[in-house]
Amino acid sequence: MRRKLAAGNWKMNGLTDSLDELRSLARAHPDPAVDILVCPPATLIAQAAQVCAGLPVAIGGQDCHTERTGAHTGDLSAEMLKDSGACAVILGHSERREDHGETSDMVRAKARAAHAAGLMAVICLGESLAQRDAANTLDIIAAQMSLSIPDTSTAENLVIAYEPIWAIGTGKLPDAAQIGEVHDFIRTRLERRFGPGAGRGMRILYGGSVKPNNADQVFRVPNVDGALVGGASLRAEDFSPIIKALSQTG
């Protein structure tokens, strides 16, 4: 059985005051039926991990370097994230692929580094609108999967987030059939590559404009094991009903 996961990506948002949102979130879900992960900016990871110690909210990073140490000004290694209190890291988000020219090969190397440091890698995949309109979605996902996911992946240390780029931050939600088609495709390929046991155990999140008012329709789609939530994860009053909707599904 896969445990459901509600993951929040704060992106470049959040100052010390925002830690109150984590306290409120944990208070609203003292004994959640699902896993909760919040990925604040790196500046808040250590404090967030302290705030959430003993509470059912885990903390993650939003990126890591491929190397453990070295002359890489401004970068953070997976080991540093782990040392700050993170247990997971988002990798290959489309904003990093676009803003920083991250390729799937780089994402795979980062995921390998995350695994070596004992972090769970949340690897993001997704097509652009032009790719979808050209009926290339599944080819794009297949290519991103084979290049971005390292062989070190297991059901415990890998989560896939399917995030159509055109749905991120736009308020445009794919319909259930579109989400289902991609999630089923990802599941089949994970099972083929990692075997039915591990492949069936790896969680697949949907991400892109998940809000309190549409979360339940997303979570009813088969092979959706939770969500990666951007904007609506910043405030406990928005993220909390999404977590509740996930707890109430399946």
Count of residues binding ligand PEP (CB under 6 A)?
13
- Polymer length of the chain: 250
Residue type, 11: K
Cβ of 83: how many Cβ atoms within 10 Å? 13
State the residue number with the nearest CB to ligand PEP: 230
Tell the smallest beta-carbon distance from residue 192 to ligand PEP (Å): 26
Sequence-separated (6 or more) residues with CB below 8 Å from residue 13: 41, 234
* Exposure on the CB side of residue 211, measured as CA atoms within 13 A: 11
Site mask for ligand PEP (CB under 6 A), range 142-181, x = bound? ---------------------x----xx------------
Site mask for ligand PEP (CB under 6 A), range 228-247, x = bound? xxxxx---------------
Tell the smallest beta-carbon distance from residue 230 to ligand PEP (Å): 2
Name residues contacting ligand PEP, limited to 202-231 (CB under 6 A): 207-210, 228-231
Q: Which is nearer to ligand PEP, 22 or 194 (CB)?
A: 22
Strand partners, 123: 91, 160
Active site positions, annotated: 93, 163
Q: Which is nearer to ligand PEP, 179 or 194 (CB)?
A: 179
Q: Which residues of 134-171 are buried (b: 16+ CB within 10 A; e: fewer)?
A: eeebeebbeebbeebbbeebebebbbbbbbbbbbbeee
Tell the smallest beta-carbon distance from residue 162 to ligand PEP (Å): 10
Q: Which is nearer to ligand PEP, 228 or 236 (CB)?
A: 228
**Spatial contact of 16 and 215, defined as CB atoms under 8 Å apart:** no
Cβ of 50: how many Cβ atoms within 10 Å? 12
Contact call for residue 62 and ligand PEP (CB under 6 A): no
Contact call for residue 104 and ligand PEP (CB under 6 A): no
Residues that bind ligand PEP (CB under 6 A): 9, 163, 168-169, 207-210, 228-232
